[in-house]
Structure 1
Amino acid sequence: MTNSEVTKPTEVPSTFTESSGVLSESLLSFMKIVEYLCLAAFIGTWILSFVFQGNQLVLIWTAILLSGSIFFILLNRKLLADYKRDNYEAKMSRKAEIYAYLLMGTSIATDSLKPARETALQYCQELIEDYKKTRTNARNIYYSSQISTIVLSGITPILVLVDKLEAGSSWLKWLPVIFPAVAAIVTSIVTSFPFQETWIAANATVELLEAEIEKFVLGVTPSYRCYDIAEETQRQQQAKIAIENFIIQVNNIHLKQVTPDQKKAEETKMDQT
């Protein structure tokens, strides 16, 4: 390979120049508008069915628009899922092709190591999505339980006063007992399961993994950098080592999150025995 071939800039891949998601976004927007129109028409005919009771034509159109609304809702969910999947695959491919610019058109940038880089990036991205779900679920449960405890505890004194004022209502006598019981159960669940700690730890792990992806894609650290090596064979070997280092680092970040839970489970078992 001559110096002119090495220094020749890489042609810009189509995934960087073409906005492949424009048509899909336009289609999603159009289908969403149709869905909203069907829902609005269904609500309108449903209201008219009360005004013109016994009118079979209005009832038929109400049933048709209800069926159409359900159809477009399900169809839009499917289209959105397909769009997200295609967008995710294109995003991973674009990140894997960034090396083509850093390596200035060498063969290892576009051919031999691209599938390995895409696989490594997909593995890390899947971990990120899992931790994002864990973060969202733990955060929602934590906030919901805290708000429920506050509301139930605050309503209890009011129910006691209402029970004294409305002595004839027998069902009110149970409310001052039921609400504190529910609040106690919710508090026990929150204290038994560390939802707040899980949420914070998952959020920290997501940030670490996303930062590691950017380091690997841009090659900004010595363990991931190979584009500044002059010799082709050494550059290719360093590119392979960079992928291995990335997988090892991602696993280390993941194990730091998983290992404490395993240690706590083992300590709990030992205490029980």
Structure 2
Amino acid sequence: MNGFGTFVQLVADGLAQGSLYAALALAIVLVNQATGLINFAQGGMAVLGSYIGMSVGNLLVPTNLILGVLIGIIVAVAASFGLGALIERFVMRRFQGGEEDTKVVATIGLLTLITGIIALIWGYNFLPYPFFFNTGLSFTVGGIAISLWSLTTFLTIVALMIVLQLLFTRTKVGLGLRAVADNPNSSALSGIRVGRMLMIGWGLAAALGTIAGILLAAKAQLNPGNFDAILVYALAAVIIGGVDSPSARSSRPSRSRCSRTSPAPMSPGSATT
């Protein structure tokens, strides 16, 4: 392969790997937009959802490969959404109104707990994730070989970002999430159930992270520490791009416009029911 072909191949692989960082970074931004908190347990939640999908998929793959993989992915995304919502409702909400440092420590504790649960159930060995195709496969365009995994990963993450953008700009749930992110007290007075919106936000972030985890596991296999290194790059992306990334900024109202009409602060209980 000539130098140009190698360059294109490396660019394709880099875009795929970078899209995984972007997906995890977007999940972190989703939680931060809703709660003002950096969730250090995001990677662990993604890996746990991936393990659940792998277990379900392995039960069905001997019967039908495609059906088994599809059902496994659907179960993984649904389970991670529920996990994220439950964590917000029964764990993180207990720290509402507390010190920011305490909330951060709580997410680190969650990461340790989730990693321990994964290791207790599935162990520390690398386990293959069932997928539609061999991730070593590639196709040739103009004499340039491009990994099928790279193309699938990049297109999947781009499609998910488009769907999320439409969700935040074209649906009532998305508008509710934006309103709660900007001013929970005003949202509560408008009849929006703030607590429910926070649960949905955490659930969406967990589901998005799990999809990234499945795509990573399809190539690198599953391990409790799958996202340990990638979380560092995702946090770097969040810091460089800002918690108000271009996608998030376009989906969030201007705080300055809302603050002029904000009502008097409500009690914590009334804002989270």
TM-score clears 0.5: no
Q: Please indicate the TM-score interval, normalised by the length of the shorter structure.
A: under 0.3
Bigger share in helix: 1
Q: Which has the higher contact order (CA 8 A, sep 6+)?
A: 2
Higher Rg of the two aligned structures: 1
